[in-house]
């Protein structure tokens, strides 16, 4: 089975330890549910082990390090003694102060990063074979499936009678955290509900790249529903989910 084209670079970086924490979590979560990428990761790890075996990897001579250190291009630059003209200094100081004030006042970009990951995780899940790790319409199978896989217990209410049948669940990664993703359908559309522990009690609603997102907090868990259904339908989904979650 072939690996996903959009994951090939991430798999290489994962094997070489070149990914940051967020992308490492994303890659590991994807590999856990994708057989093709899991096989590719095992192949890359085997090749890496062979290349590190004794007699295969060529050791550079010790003299090479000294020759590199002596290259003129690597010499430390001489300190500059230039000074700003007296008439320019106040302007530079003022601009620097304004820049520091702007940096202080601007909000952090964490929320924007999470928003991007919510949309991209939803889109990625729509690829064949990526939607669910456990595929079932039975809430009594999906809810216990998360036991031992995440350190919290997400509610999985039955909403089929209201037009949102359960499709299953999977593990995903948002903001560097492993989260639960509960999957519902709305006619021919998919609703991904991402769940993770969070004390943020604010509600958010926005539309990005044609996808509606609704976020809320209930009983210490943060919920983010993502879908391409109308915002009014997603609001109805939120209300039903909260009512039946107890």
Q: Is residue 233 part of a domain?
A: yes
Q: Give residue 21's domain range.
A: 1-69
Q: Does the pLDDT at position 105 exceed 50?
A: no
Q: For the chain, how many structural domains are there in total?
A: 2
Which residues sit opposite 174 in a β-bridge? Answer: 177
The Cα–Cα gap between 178 and 21 comes to 11
**Rounded (5°) CA angle 231-234-238:** 135
User: Structure pTM?
Assistant: 0.58
Say what the pLDDT of residue 145 is: 94
- Position 182 confidence tier, pLDDT thresholds 50, 70, 90: very high
pLDDT tens-digit profile of 20-79? 666 777 778 788 888 888 888 888 888 877 776 666 666 677 777 777 777 776 666 666
CATH code of the domain containing 122 = 3.30.200.100
Please indicate, yes or no, if residue 106 is contained in any of the structural domains: no
What does each C-alpha distance from 65 to 53, 62, 100 come to in angstroms? Answer: 23, 6, 41
């Amino acid at each position: 089975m072939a690996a996903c084209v959009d994951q090939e670079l991430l798999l290489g970086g994962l094997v070489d330890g070149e990914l940051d924490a967020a992308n490492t979590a994303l890659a590991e979560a994807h590999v856990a549910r994708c057989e093709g990428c899991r096989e590719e990761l095992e192949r890359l790890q085997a090749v890496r082990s062979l290349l590190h075996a004794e007699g295969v990897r060529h050791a550079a001579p010790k003299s090479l390090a000294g020759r590199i250190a002596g290259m003129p291009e690597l010499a430390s630059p001489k300190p500059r003694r230039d000074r700003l003209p007296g008439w320019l200094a106040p302007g530079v100081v003022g601009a620097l102060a304004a820049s520091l004030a702007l940096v202080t006042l601007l909000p952090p970009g964490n929320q924007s990063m999470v928003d991007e990951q919510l949309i991209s995780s939803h889109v990625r899940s729509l690829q064949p074979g990526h939607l669910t790790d456990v595929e079932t319409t039975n809430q009594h199978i999906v809810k216990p499936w998360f036991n031992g896989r995440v350190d919290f217990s997400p509610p999985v209410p039955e909403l089929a009678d209201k037009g949102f049948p359960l499709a299953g669940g999977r593990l995903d990664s948002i903001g560097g955290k492993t989260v639960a993703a509960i999957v519902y359908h709305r006619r021919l559309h998919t609703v991904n509900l991402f769940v993770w522990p969070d004390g943020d009690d604010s509600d958010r609603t926005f539309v990005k790249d044609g996808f509606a997102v609704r976020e809320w907090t209930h009983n210490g868990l943060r919920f983010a529903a993502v879908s391409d259904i109308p915002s009014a339908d997603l609001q109805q989904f939120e209300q039903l989910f909260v009512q039946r979650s107890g």
